[in-house]
Amino acid sequence: MVAIADLLHGKRTGKPVELKGWIYRTRTMGGKAFVVLRDATGILQVTVAKDAVPPEAFAAVEKALIESSVIVKGTVVADKRAPGGFEVRATDVHVVHFAEKYPLQEDPGEEFLLDVRHLWVRSQKLTTMFRIRDATFHAVHGYFRDQGFWEVSPPMITPAGSEGGSTLFELDYFGKKAYLTQSWQLYAEALVLAMEKIYYIGPSFRAEKSRTTRHLTEYWHAEMEQAWVGMDEVLKHAEGVISHACQVVAEERPDDVVAMGRTPEFLKAVKPPFERITYDDAVQLLHAKGMEFEWGKDLRTLEERALTEGKTKPVIVTHYPRVSQAFYKARDPVKPDLVLGFDVIAGDGVGEVVGGSERETDLEVIKKSLLEQGEDPRSYDWYLDSRRYGSVQHAGFGMGMERLIQWICKLDHIRDAVPFPRTPARFAP
Ligand code: 4AD
Ligand code: MG
């Protein structure tokens, strides 16, 4: 058995092959069936001539509807008329399963496609994205491993949040309140004092009602934390991991990148350093563009769009105002109303792909911030032990994998960066 992608690169031309797959399109014309076959790696035309296969095989092919599963034997030939430049001339076809009439028709509409997501995952749009997503995950793991980070797993069921109470998913834990994790934040800060350079990729949950093109309620979060370093060092890793993912995807999946509407060259040019501006600079830039924006507010999609306009690499914004920032972010020693925090902002409407900071090490300052944010420091007592026993400078960040994939694949909506999207409006199928 061979993969379709292998045939499309001409490696098997003239040779006999056996293919297993599903009928993507089919039509019969003048004693010939033209079947476009789909497998995990791509699509390929199979020509079944009536006189080249056993009569029962031809009859079965004529009868088989799209998404029927088939095994094809034949010879690969180069043919400019075939999509992709190659086709297989069948010598035998076996229909493994005759599919019922497939419910996906032309122009089905977005909502319907979400209803039948379990079938729509077979589409070229999604299978292409899956292959890029796979390469992106491998690249992120590869980057951190190469840089000497340990992969450590935090829990998903937690007693308290780290990113603000309003977006916590509550859970009945045998009569007690528990929450689905928003971030590994608190655990990372405990683990970093054990393992020093750590990362993980896992799901995060946000009960975010905002129906935007870049929010999911369940997303995959790549997070890192490092001891003995400050903001600048982890910023280099943020640039490094994004760049590495772009290089790997461009190198390993050039055809898929093109199918998604990007070019490998675009991705290859995503190399450090990225442009870096402070929040204060960003506010000035926005004002210079004639936009109204009040100092202290968080940057919204609108502002992030303006800051990345015409940019081909993501832009880093540092030193955000302390108000409205998470309690664990370190104060800027020079301007204590700012934090040593940063976001990495991507263009094309994707916005913040990475959020991170140096962490506050002063126990009393953290307690005060918790109180200011209406939290009870006693709920965080175990976490605060990280500031009681051998506290050291440390910093880290979180990267939304779907945001990164959305940007790499130039997707209009983040839901197409994940197989089964979870949004405020739906959690099925
Ligand atoms: O900026 P956030 O909230 O930061 C944290 O959770 C930190 N504790 C991370 C850390 O320092 N370890 O989230 C980090 C990233 C964002 O930059 C964004 O890319 C992604 O997670 N993200 C989402 N992605 C999809 N849907 C959502 N609702 C998201 N919320 C955050
Ligand atoms: Mg953020």
Task: Please indicate whether residue 162, judged by its CB atom, sits closer than 6 Å to ligand 1.
Answer: yes
| DSSP category for residue 373 | T
Question: Which atom number of ligand 1 is nearest to the Cα of residue 183?
Answer: 6
Question: Which atom number of ligand 1 is nearest to the Cα of residue 344?
Answer: 17
Q: How far is the CA of 356 from the centre of ligand 2 (A)?
A: 7
Q: Tell me the residue ranges of DSSP E strands in 206-358.
A: 218-227, 275-278, 315-318, 341-346, 351-358
Q: How far is the CA of 392 from the centre of ligand 1 (A)?
A: 24
Assigned CATH topology for domain 4-97? OB fold (Dihydrolipoamide Acetyltransferase, E2P) (2.40.50)
Q: Residue 420 corresponds to which tokens in the numbers above?
A: 């089964």
Task: Please indicate whether residue 394, judged by its CB atom, sits closer than 6 Å to ligand 1.
Answer: no
pLDDT on residue 9: 82
Q: How far is the CA of 233 from the centre of ligand 1 (A)?
A: 19
Look at the chain and count its residues: 429
Q: Residue 421 corresponds to which tokens in the numbers above?
A: 């999207």
pLDDT on residue 84: 85
Q: How far is the CA of 25 from the centre of ligand 2 (A)?
A: 44
Q: Ligand 1 pocket check: which of 163, 181, 201, 423 to mutate, most ligand atoms within 8 Å of Cβ?
A: 163
pLDDT digits (tens, 9 = 90+) for 238-290: 999 999 999 999 999 999 999 999 999 999 999 999 999 999 999 999 999 99
pLDDT on residue 335: 96
Q: How far is the CA of 123 from the centre of ligand 1 (A)?
A: 29
Question: Which atom number of ligand 1 is nearest to the Cα of residue 404?
Answer: 19
Q: Which ligand is nearest to the CA of 242?
A: 1
Q: Tell me the residue ranges of DSSP E strands in 63-147.
A: 69-78, 86-97
What CA–CA distance (Å, rounded) separates 130 from 346? Answer: 21
Ligand 1: residue whose CA is nearest its atom 23: 400
The CA-atom distances, in angstroms, between 72 and each of 50, 237, 390 are 14, 47, 65
Q: Ligand 1 pocket check: which of 206, 404, 413 to mutate, most ligand atoms within 8 Å of Cβ?
A: 206
Q: How far is the CA of 319 from the centre of ligand 1 (A)?
A: 17
pLDDT on residue 122: 97
| DSSP category for residue 177 | E
pLDDT on residue 360: 98
pLDDT on residue 340: 98
Task: Please indicate whether residue 352, judged by its CB atom, sits closer than 6 Å to ligand 1.
Answer: yes
Task: Please indicate whether residue 206, judged by its CB atom, sits closer than 6 Å to ligand 1.
Answer: yes
If one looks up domain 117-417 in CATH, what number appears?
Answer: 3.30.930.10
Nearest alpha carbon to residue 339 among 352, 354, 326: 326
Residue-range domain boundaries for the chain: 4-97, 117-417
Q: Which long-range contacts (CB under 8 A, 24 or more apart) does 133-137 make?
A: 133/401, 133/405, 133/417, 133/418, 135/248, 135/249, 135/252, 135/253, 136/245, 136/248, 136/249, 136/401, 136/404, 136/405, 136/408, 137/201, 137/220, 137/401
Q: What does the DSSP assignment read for 277-303?
A: EEHHHHHHHHHHTT----TTSPP-HHH
Ligand 1: residue whose CA is nearest its atom 11: 397
Low-confidence residues of the chain: pLDDT under 70: none
